[in-house]
């Protein structure tokens, strides 16, 4: 058992370090370019990912791995709040990116270079503030829920957590769940996991449909168009296609991760599955750690040239 725990700890450290580097590198790379609305959404996603990874590890070190009890309940509540805040923000920014890209691709041939609504900087910042505001609103009930009950003490003793701060963010098991905790749990799952999962899946299918139809109806280049214009158009189309493929890959990772997370949340409880907290960490953190690399490569930000340039700054 000790050997398994050691391997899990090593894997956890590896994923966390990979996520920290990837998100920081994405933020630095975007800030060194001309920041447009899509880059703003990437910054929001990377910042949310970074916050979640940092807080989850702080929560684990200060709460779950300490043998002494936590006397300050607000420390437990605050760390839970910040962890859930980062998680929800990451999910909502993913939804925003998928919707934005579909809006950008839809009717692109007829719209040509005309902007869409989210291309406006004011509208983009408004969407970002909405994502953050909804995240805060959905995370805030943690401060008013029952922090610990009799069943929570049993969970803590079984998992070696004597801190009085159970790893279950919903503070609710299948057998013993106060009404307010149960309402929060299922409302949270519906609004923060299931609904975004449906939206991301739907927009991914629509993006694939647009790509297939645009390839089938591609028009030949007009001879009167200059060579430089043709090259510029092809380069722009190639970049857009590469970025779109990267977004689809990130959306696929998102769908796999959060579908697994939903299955575990609806099927198991911490008492039945003692390592559920570790599995939830790997499921949620795998997306926040891998997505910046996928999106960064798609935007041509994660290149060896950029890496060496920033290494010697």
- What is d(CA 231, CA 162) in angstroms, rounded to the nearest whole number? 64
- pLDDT greater at residue 216 or residue 88: 88
Q: How many domains does the chain have?
A: 1
The pLDDT of 78-107, averaged and rounded, is 90
The pLDDT of 137-164, averaged and rounded, is 56
Nearest to 252 by CA among 192, 203, 201, 190: 201
In the chain, the percentage of residues whose pLDDT exceeds 90 is: 28
pLDDT value of residue 126: 93
pLDDT value of residue 219: 53
7 contacts: CB under 8 Å, gap ≥ 6 = none
pTM confidence score: 0.83
pLDDT value of residue 308: 60
pLDDT value of residue 78: 86
Distances (CA, A) of 104 to 37, 99, 128, 151, 233: 12, 9, 17, 50, 16
The pLDDT of 186-195, averaged and rounded, is 89
pLDDT value of residue 226: 56
Nearest to 89 by CA among 43, 37, 57: 43
- pLDDT greater at residue 65 or residue 2: 65
- pLDDT greater at residue 243 or residue 171: 243
Asked whether residue 210 is assigned to any structural domain, the reply reads yes
The pLDDT of 158-176, averaged and rounded, is 55
Question: DSSP per residue over 138-200, as a string?
Answer: HHGGGGTS----HHHHHHHHHTT--SS--S-TT---SSS--HHHHHHHHHHIIIIIIHHHHHH
Asked whether residue 244 is assigned to any structural domain, the reply reads yes
Asked whether residue 115 is assigned to any structural domain, the reply reads yes
> Which domain does 124 fall in, by range?
13-214+235-307
Asked whether residue 6 is assigned to any structural domain, the reply reads no
The pLDDT of 158-163, averaged and rounded, is 40
Asked whether residue 229 is assigned to any structural domain, the reply reads no
Residue 293 pLDDT class (50, 70, 90 cuts): very high
Asked whether residue 4 is assigned to any structural domain, the reply reads no
* Dihedral of the alpha carbons of 285, 288, 293, 297, in degrees to the nearest 10: 150
Tokens of 59: 């929560």
Residue 6 pLDDT class (50, 70, 90 cuts): low
Tokens of 290: 């891998």
- What is d(CA 311, CA 85) in angstroms, rounded to the nearest whole number? 31
Q: What is the domain-level CATH number for residue 287?
A: 1.20.1070.10
Decide if pLDDT at 199 tops 70: yes
pLDDT value of residue 88: 93
The pLDDT of 153-163, averaged and rounded, is 38
Query: Using one digit for the tens of pLDDT, what is the confidence trace for 253-268?
Result: 999 999 988 888 777 7
Decide if pLDDT at 271 tops 90: no
Asked whether residue 75 is assigned to any structural domain, the reply reads yes
Asked whether residue 219 is assigned to any structural domain, the reply reads no
CB 25 within 8 A of CB 87: no
């Amino acid at each position: 058992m000790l050997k398994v725990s050691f391997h899990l700890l090593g894997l956890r450290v590896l994923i966390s370090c990979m996520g920290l580097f990837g998100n920081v590198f994405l933020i630095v790379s975007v800030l060194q370019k001309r920041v447009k609305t899509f880059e703003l959404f990437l910054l929001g996603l990377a910042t949310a990912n970074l916050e979640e990874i940092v807080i989850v590890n702080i929560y684990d070190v200060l709460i779950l791995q300490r043998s002494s009890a936590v006397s300050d309940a607000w420390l437990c509540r605050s760390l839970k709040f910040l962890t859930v805040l980062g998680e929800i923000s990451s999910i909502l920014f993913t939804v925003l990116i998928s919707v934005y890209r579909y809006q950008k691709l839809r009717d692109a041939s007829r719209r040509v270079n005309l902007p869409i609504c989210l291309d406006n900087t004011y509208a983009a910042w408004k969407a970002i503030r909405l994502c953050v505001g909804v995240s805060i609103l959905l995370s805030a009930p943690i401060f008013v829920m029952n922090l610990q009950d009799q069943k929570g003490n049993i969970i803590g003793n079984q998992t070696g957590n004597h801190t009085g701060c159970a790893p279950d963010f919903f503070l609710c098991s299948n057998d013993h769940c106060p009404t307010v905790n149960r309402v929060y749990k299922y409302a949270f799952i519906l609004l923060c996991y299931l609904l975004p999962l449906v939206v991301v899946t739907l927009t991914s299918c629509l993006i694939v449909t647009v790509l297939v139809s645009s390839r089938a109806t591609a028009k030949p280049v007009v001879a009167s168009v200059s060579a430089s214009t043709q090259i510029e158009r092809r380069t722009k189309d190639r970049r857009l296609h590469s970025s779109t493929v990267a977004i689809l890959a990130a959306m696929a990772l998102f769908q796999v991760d959060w579908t697994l997370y939903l299955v575990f949340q609806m099927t198991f409880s911490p008492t039945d599955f003692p390592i559920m907290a570790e599995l939830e960490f790997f499921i949620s953190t795998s997306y926040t750690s891998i997505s910046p690399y996928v999106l960064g490569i798609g935007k041509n930000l994660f290149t060896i040239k950029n890496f060496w340039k920033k290494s010697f700054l």
